[in-house]
């Protein structure tokens, strides 16, 4: 292998050296997640070939039909992570309650929260989808973890990341020392460091929102999006281009690399928006902040919110800090 290539394993080991007392448990957990990502990526790539497309015939806790790949991704994440002794408990967007670690495997000090395959309605049309994950330290008193371990605020995160299954597969993560992106080299089966220390560009290019729901938006959100479009008479600005895939990981990833804002506000039909706080908003918020951006529910930082329920939803405004703060300003002014 060329001396210039940095595999995810080497990178994780280097990061571990920033924590002199580290025992390697956390590093190995990140490596387990990378392995699960490779397995899910392999199946995702084959989705058009194998008889794997279509609905699995089950409905998840949100009442949505699960695609077969959702089930596969869910089972893969659990199978790779439940026997390692590194985790105390898990929680997944595709499971109702917490996912306990079987006693015989023994429990460890970390907690893994994930959305195994986000944007799965896009699978059938070959649009990018992703896996989102968050890692906390166990805080509950028992030997193994409990629900309270899975309801920690984002300010207590140990790590967060996502995998995007796109034209290439990428894993992007932060453990509090910047955001790093790795691209899967399919011939090697290795994630290689391709995007070290990602910073969201200061000059934003895009805004991403489902404009089809505009008629349901609040006054503040409507006026804010007009402002993004450069159509606010009092405060004209250079219009941003609109891009909306309808796959949070893909929309977020583009805006992280190119600059911009993704918003999924509350509206007349969905008073809490659609995005899940624990599985989607919190991990993405941590990544955004580590890259110099910001995430809000329109009134307060996402990372300050302590979840009350596993499947709680939240409005989400995420991207360049000044754009997100501007959203908060419009909401304060028009929606109070
Ligand atoms: P999912 O977790 O059921 O896949 O849904 C979440 C997805 C996000 O990826 C995306 O941002 C959003 O739903 C799109 O919703 P909409 O189609 O209402 O714009
Ligand atoms: Mg999801």
Which ligand is located closest to the Cα atom of residue 210? Answer: 1
Of 69-73, 84-88, 154-158, 208-212, minimum mean pLDDT range = 69-73
34 CB less than 6 Å from ligand 1?
Answer: no
64 CB less than 6 Å from ligand 1?
Answer: yes
Which ligand is located closest to the Cα atom of residue 62? Answer: 1
| pLDDT of 93 higher than 50 | yes
| pLDDT of 16 higher than 90 | no
| pLDDT of 228 higher than 90 | yes
Of 22-26, 34-38, 69-73, 152-156, minimum mean pLDDT range = 22-26
156 CB less than 6 Å from ligand 1?
Answer: no
Confidence (pLDDT) at 170: 98
Distance in angstroms (rounded) separating the CA atoms of residues 311 and 332: 26
Average pLDDT over residues 83-95: 97
Mutate to test the pocket of ligand 1, among 250, 274, 310 (most ligand atoms within 8 A of CB): 274
Task: State what percent of residues in the chain have pLDDT above 70.
Answer: 93
The rounded mean pLDDT for the chain is: 93
Confidence of residue 212 (pLDDT cuts 50, 70, 90): very high
Q: Are 132 and 112 in contact (CB under 8 A)?
A: no
Judged by DSSP in three states, 57 sits in strand
Q: Using one digit for the tens of pLDDT, what is the confidence trace for 39-64? A: 999 988 877 665 555 556 666 777 66
Q: What is the pTM of this model?
A: 0.94
Domains (range + CATH), the chain: 8-195 (3.30.540.10), 206-335 (3.40.190.80)
Q: Using one digit for the tens of pLDDT, what is the confidence trace for 99-135? A: 999 989 999 999 999 999 999 888 888 899 999 999 9
* Own/partner pairs, 75-79, CB within 8 angstroms, 24+ separation: 76/36, 76/39, 76/40, 76/43, 76/116, 77/36, 77/40, 77/112, 77/114, 77/116, 77/131
CA of 68 to the centre of ligand 1 (A): 17
61 CB less than 6 Å from ligand 1?
Answer: no
């Amino acid at each position: 292998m060329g001396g210039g290539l940095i595999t995810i394993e080497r990178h994780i080991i280097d990061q571990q050296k920033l924590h002199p007392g580290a025992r390697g448990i956390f590093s190995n957990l990140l490596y387990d997640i990378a392995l699960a990502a490779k397995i899910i990526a392999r199946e995702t790539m084959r989705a058009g070939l194998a008889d794997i497309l279509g609905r699995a015939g089950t409905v998840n806790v949100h009442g949505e039909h699960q695609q077969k790949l959702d089930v596969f991704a869910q089972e893969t994440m659990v199978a790779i992570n439940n026997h390692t002794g590194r985790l105390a408990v898990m929680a997944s967007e595709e499971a109702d309650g917490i996912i306990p670690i079987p006693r015989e495997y023994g429990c460890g000090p970390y907690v893994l929260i994930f959305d195994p395959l986000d944007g799965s309605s896009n699978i059938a049309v070959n649009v990018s989808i992703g896996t989102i994950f968050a890692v906390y330290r166990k805080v509950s008193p028992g030997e193994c973890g409990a629900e309270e371990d899975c309801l920690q605020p984002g300010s207590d995160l140990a790590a967060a990341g996502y995998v995007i299954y796109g034209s290439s597969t990428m894993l992007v993560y932060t453990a509090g020392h910047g955001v790093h992106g790795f691209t899967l080299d399919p011939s090697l089966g290795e994630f290689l460091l391709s995007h070290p220390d990602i910073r969201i560009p200061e000059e934003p290019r895009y805004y991403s929102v489902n404009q089809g729901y505009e008629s349901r938006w609040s006054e503040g959100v409507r006026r804010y999006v007009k402002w993004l479009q450069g159509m606010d008479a009092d405060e004209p600005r250079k219009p941003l281009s609109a891009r909306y895939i309808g796959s949070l990981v893909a929309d977020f990833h583009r805006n992280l690399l190119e600059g911009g804002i993704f918003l999924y506000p509350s509206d007349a039909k969905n008073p809490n928006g659609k995005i899940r706080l624990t599985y989607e908003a919190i991990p993405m918020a941590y990544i955004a902040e580590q890259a110099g951006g910001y995430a809000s529910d329109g009134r307060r930082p996402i990372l300050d919110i302590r979840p009350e329920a596993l499947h709680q939803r939240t409005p989400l405004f995420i991207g360049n800090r000044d754009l997100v703060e501007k959203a908060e300003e419009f909401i304060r002014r028009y929606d109070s």
